[in-house]
Amino acid sequence: MKDWKNILVSPDTSIREAIRIIDQEGLKIALVVDADNRLVGTVSDGDIRRGILKGCELGAHVLQIMNPNPSVASKNDGQEVILGLMRQKKVYQVPLVDDRGILVGLKVIDAILSPPQRENLVVLMAGGLGTRLKHLTENTPKPMLKVGGKPILETILDNFMAHGFNRFLISVKYKSELIEDYFGDGSQWGVQINYLREDKKLGTAGALSLMSEKPSEPILVMNGDVLTKINFQQLLEFHGEHKATATMCVREYDYQVPFGVVNIDHYRILSIEEKPIQRFFVNAGIYVLEPEVLKMIPHDNHLDMPSLFESMIIKKMKTFVFPIREYWVDIGRIDDYERANSEYREVFL
């Protein structure tokens, strides 16, 4: 996509110059900003044509023809929110602003619908037994359980593909043939899929030791039993902006103590809290790792991701958390599975 900064104009820019910029840059819009880079309006081809029909001279300022109240989005809005705004307002470009109205970017519908292809490897952990789901996983690996009419793992794949990822490694062990027979080499989805075959339980980090490729870009790792609408592009951007060695996605979790909690000092009662709610951030099973982290993983030995993060924390490496605000469910129990099925159509379709 072309640089949106090339289509910035001031209110006293001529209509003729705006036409030149719009035609040259190919984004079909010019963004009108003040001296502080605050968005004050937009100029589209339609605005120019309407201005000409009204008798505006091409030497006149764009202030005369601009749209002073364009549809805008927050820089924190996800692609689905922005795409919904485009559909609702029937626009093809949406400027992004911060909370002060300062212009920070531009979303174009073509870029949203056809995201840039990414070179990052995505590793999906799909080798677990899923014993808590009892009879459901006796003959089916948990990532292949159907939610919304298709395997969990396929929905995960679809979500990554929607953000431009096309290179996948799937870690398999339990009933691996069912996963490999279904997904094959990924050609049916237009992506590349290879497999990390565990001979023994290696854990969510240990399986990475089986990688033969030495990647140069950050690696995304995700548990194969998680359904989420997280924006993977924003996750990668966050990881890069903080120059993180490793980023762990976390989810806020509320726990209500079912009793009145008595706060004491020795034998003296200080206060009583009736059924207080405690809030925690819990591991969401999604990670971004720099390639250098792979050197810390012993070959063919069991290692879970939290233990790997603990090692990095001890070494004072840059470890960050990315809080998930979007939909997220870990399908670990039967009620989670039932909930995911009941919510699937509303969230994913």
261-299 pLDDT tens trace: 999 998 999 999 999 998 888 999 999 999 999 999 999
Q: What is the mean pLDDT of residues 29-40?
A: 95
CA distances from 340 to 127, 151, 331 (A): 21, 12, 8
Q: Give residue 75's pLDDT.
A: 85
Q: What is the pTM of this model?
A: 0.71
Phi-psi region for residue 325, left (φ > 0), alpha (ψ -120 to 50) or beta?
alpha
DSSP state of 300: T
- CATH numbers and ranges of domains, the chain: 4-113 (3.10.580.10), 118-348 (3.90.550.10)
Dihedral sign, Cα of residue 236, residue 241, residue 247, residue 248: negative
Q: What is the mean pLDDT of residues 316-332?
A: 91
Give φ, ψ of 44 to 5 degrees.
-110, 170
CA gap 131, 145 in Å, rounded: 13
Q: What is the mean pLDDT of the chain?
A: 91
Judge contact between 7 and 22, C-beta under 8 A.
yes
Q: Give residue 349's pLDDT.
A: 76
User: In the chain, which residue ranges form alpha helices assigned H by DSSP?
Assistant: 15-25, 45-53, 79-89, 109-113, 152-162, 176-183, 203-206, 232-241, 305-314, 334-348
Asked if residue 112 has pLDDT above 80, the reply is no
Q: Give residue 1's pLDDT.
A: 53
Judge contact between 137 and 125, C-beta under 8 A.
no
Asked if residue 52 has pLDDT above 90, the reply is no
Q: Give residue 171's pLDDT.
A: 97
Q: What confidence tens digit (pLDDT) does each residue in 128-180 have?
A: 877 788 788 888 999 999 999 999 999 999 999 988 899 999 999 999 999 99
Q: Give residue 134's pLDDT.
A: 77
Judge contact between 222 and 285, C-beta under 8 A.
yes
Q: What is the mean pLDDT of residues 338-346?
A: 93
Q: Give residue 246's pLDDT.
A: 98
